[in-house]
Amino acid sequence: MTLLNVTARGLYCAVGDFYVDPWKAVDFAVTTHAHSDHARAGSACYLAAESSRGVLQERLGACVRIETLPYGGCVTRNGVAISLHPAGHILGSAQVRVEYRGEVWVVSGDFKTQAEATCAPFEPVRCHTFITESTFGLPIYRWRPQAEIFADINAWWRGNQAAERMSVLFAYSLGKAQRVLAGVDASIGPIFVHGAVAKLLPHYAAAGVALPEIEAVESARALAGRGLVIAPGSVDGTPWLRRFGETSKAFASGWMMVRGARRRQALDRGFALSDHADWDGLIASIRATGAERVLVTHGSAGVLVRWLRENGWKADVLATRFVGEASEGRDEPQAA
């Protein structure tokens, strides 16, 4: 029996009697972040980072019991010390550090190593065993600096304005949408967001994240041909989107690194902007933890494990039900 094990309900710490991101309802769920494949409804109590409270409540409902910790803060259950550390994935995302009798495990949740405006930057945490995601665990995934990506997005937006059509940028409603909002040049034109994005904005404001003004969608016609629309991909083909008239469509996601991923969705543009670590980021983070053993979850687990083994790590695949970043569907991953 190791400190954390995969059980039918999720990743479980038997000594401390708690789960990390369980996929079934449990008594005590330590929650890395508010995306639905990690934070599922129904558990009696959730423990999350302080800055996650607002978005978590938005997702799970107001009556849910949520306890929080500041980053670096610690609680103890049956002698197991639990602390949360920035994962840099989205607002309030955390890595979970678990320590028992000197043995330290860290669960990365989803994470990225590029710093950005909407969440606290990733901090590597020293540990013996590191449980890491591997969504983009292939060397074809190497992110360009985010400033370059935003310059591309801005140029595309300006180009569309010149052609008098709306720029529609599909992005996950929690996390990516706000990161895009914070990153684009809002002086170019009016910005519209879908309701699924809008309802999360107050929580970002409360967390001190500065975001540009949003136009009411009712003025879409008046501002036709000039605006940027940020919405989850599920609105494609719906009346909600049709109100904007002629559009150019793009998707902001790490999957857009590969041409085929964009072309099969008949998108005009794809911007490889990801909230996950790229290949180099994964390797560097694993190295920085000092872990001797690495357990790899959702994504290209098999590939990363083999690479780690060939390079001197003890590594294994850990079968979980996390999804990471859905390559299509263009909204955040659903529980699989």
Partner 1 sequence: MRRFAQLYTALDETNRTSEKVAALEAYFREADATDAAWALHFLSGRKVPRAITSALLRGWAGEEARLPTWLFEECYEAVGDLAETVALLLPESASTLALPLHALISERLLPMRDAAEPVKKELLLRTWRELSGIERLVWNKMMTGGFRVGVAQTLVVRALAAVAGVEQAIMAHRLLGKWQPTAEDFWRLLHESDVGAGEVARPYPFFLASQLEGEPAALGEVAAWQAEWKWDGIRAQVIRRRGEVLIWSRGDEIVTESFPEITEAGSTLADGTVLDGEILAWQGDTPQPFASLQRRLGRKIVSARMRAAFPVVFVAYDLLEKAGDDLRARPLRERRTFLEKELQAAAQRPLAAAPGAVCETLDLFDFGGAPRALSPLRISETLRAGSWEALAALRAGSRERQVEGIMLKRLDSPYGVGRQRGDWWKWKIDPLMLDAVLIQAQLGHGRRASLFTDYTFGLWDDGKLVPVAKAYSGLTDAEILEVDAFVRANTVDRFGPIRVVRPELVFELAFEAVQQSARHKAGLAVRFPRINRRRADKNPAEADTLANLRALVRAPGNPG
Chain residues in the site for partner 1 (CB under 8 A): 138-140, 142, 255, 257-261, 263-269, 300, 303, 306-307, 310, 321, 323, 326-329, 336
Residue number with CB closer to partner 1 (22 or 254): 254
What's the min distance (Å) between Cβ of 268 and partner 1?
A: 6
Which lies closer to partner 1 via its Cβ, residue 224 or residue 258? Answer: 258
The CA distance from 259 to 261, in Å, is: 5
Shortest Å, Cβ 141 to partner 1: 8
Shortest reach from residue 336's CB to partner 1, in Å? 5
For 261, the enclosing helix (H) or strand (E) is: helix 259-263
Q: Which is nearer to partner 1, 225 or 329 (CB)?
A: 329
Q: How far apart are CA 84 and CA 50, in angstroms?
A: 10
Residue closer to partner 1, measured from CB, 87 or 153: 153
Question: Which residues are 68's β-sheet partners?
Answer: 48
Q: Residues 38, 110: contact at Cβ < 8 Å?
A: yes
Residue with Cβ nearer partner 1 (38 or 321): 321
Shortest Å, Cβ 237 to partner 1: 10
Residues forming beta bridges with residue 176, ordered by sequence position: none
Long-range contacts: 9-16, Cβ < 8 Å, 24+? 10/320, 10/321, 11/107, 11/131, 11/318, 11/320, 13/80, 13/98, 15/78, 15/79, 15/80, 15/100, 16/77, 16/78, 16/79, 16/80, 16/82, 16/98, 16/100
Task: For partner 1, give the closer residue by CB, 107 or 256.
Answer: 256
How near is the Cβ of 47 to partner 1 at its closest, in Å? 27
Nearest approach, Cβ of residue 252 and partner 1 (Å):
15
Angle at 121 between CA 119 and CA 125, to 5 degrees: 130
Contacts of 99 (CB under 8 A, 6+ apart): 80, 81, 83, 105
